[in-house]
Amino acid sequence: MMPDRQMHIEQESLIHKGHSYDFVDLTVRYKDGVTRTKPMVRHNGAATILPLLETPDGLRIVMVRNERVTIDDFLLELPAGGIDKGEDPSEAAGRELVEETGYRAGILEPLCRFLTTPGLTDELMHVFVARDLTHVGQKLEPYESLSVERIEPSRVIEMVDQNVIFDAKTMLTIRTAHAKGII
């Protein structure tokens, strides 16, 4: 049973329209009757991919070492990217996989979905497992700076456990895939 709603959005005002997301102010009436403004980010959603590559040396997870200017550092993470308006999440996942890793998936299966930061944005992250990979070459955007790494699943799990990998989408995907026996 769902609890009664304690807040009601009365108005939404656009602050800035962006390419992938918009900044808006919500006018919210709270249960105490007071109206307050809450800034938020409206997002088209995103897709994360867990690429599983069969090699002669065993299964590898294809990851990217991504330069993240927002934190002035490189992060080891799973490939991911935004969903274009009107695009199906699986299409975005397939597109981002090729762009960032250079691999095309023969099989793309949904794993889970989650809200990334619900106190700030409505971004919904769709997670897919990619199998039957074929190398077709990277197609990086001009602003992307990343390299591809192929890592044994046990090592990736260890790096999550040791907090070497601390990107949330990557951690959650690895934990979910491990719990479901995928890796």
pLDDT tens-digit readout, 20-66: 899 999 999 999 999 999 999 999 999 999 999 999 999 999 999 99
Query: What pLDDT was estimated at residue 174?
Result: 98
pLDDT at 5 over 90: no
Angle ∠(97,164,111) on CA atoms, nearest 5: 40
Strand order across the beta sheet in which 21-30 lies = 7-17, 21-30, 35-43
State yes or no: is 144 an active-site residue. yes
Q: What are the backbone dihedrals phi and psi of residue 69, each rounded to the nearest 5 degrees, phi first?
A: -65, -30
Helical H runs in the chain? 89-101, 153-161, 168-179
Distance CA 133, CA 140 (A): 18
Computed on alpha carbons and rounded to an integer, the radius of gyration of the chain in Å comes to: 19
Residue pair 90/84 in contact (Cβ under 8 Å)? The answer is no
Residue pair 124/115 in contact (Cβ under 8 Å)? The answer is yes
Q: Grade residue 144 by pLDDT with cuts at 50, 70 and 90.
A: confident
Query: What pLDDT was estimated at residue 94?
Result: 98
Q: What is the DSSP string of 135-159?
A: E------TT--EEEEEE-HHHHHHH
Instruction: Tell me which of 67, 144, 149, 152 is the catalytic residue.
Output: 144
Q: Grade residue 142 by pLDDT with cuts at 50, 70 and 90.
A: confident
Q: Grade residue 179 by pLDDT with cuts at 50, 70 and 90.
A: very high
Distance CA 136, CA 138 (A): 7
Q: What average pLDDT does this structure show over 117-137?
A: 97
Distance CA 157, CA 163 (A): 10
pLDDT at 170 over 80: yes
Q: At 86, is the secondary structure helix, strand, or coil?
A: coil
Query: What pLDDT was estimated at residue 19?
Result: 83
Q: What are the backbone dihedrals phi and psi of residue 86, each rounded to the nearest 5 degrees, phi first?
A: 80, -5
Query: What pLDDT was estimated at residue 20?
Result: 82
Tens-place pLDDT, residues 69-90: 999 999 999 999 999 989 999 9
Q: What are the backbone dihedrals phi and psi of residue 35, each rounded to the nearest 5 degrees, phi first?
A: -100, 130
Query: What pLDDT was estimated at residue 68?
Result: 93
Query: What pLDDT was estimated at residue 81?
Result: 96
Query: What pLDDT was estimated at residue 147?
Result: 95
Query: What pLDDT was estimated at residue 111?
Result: 98
Q: Which two tokens stand for residue 144?
A: 């992307």
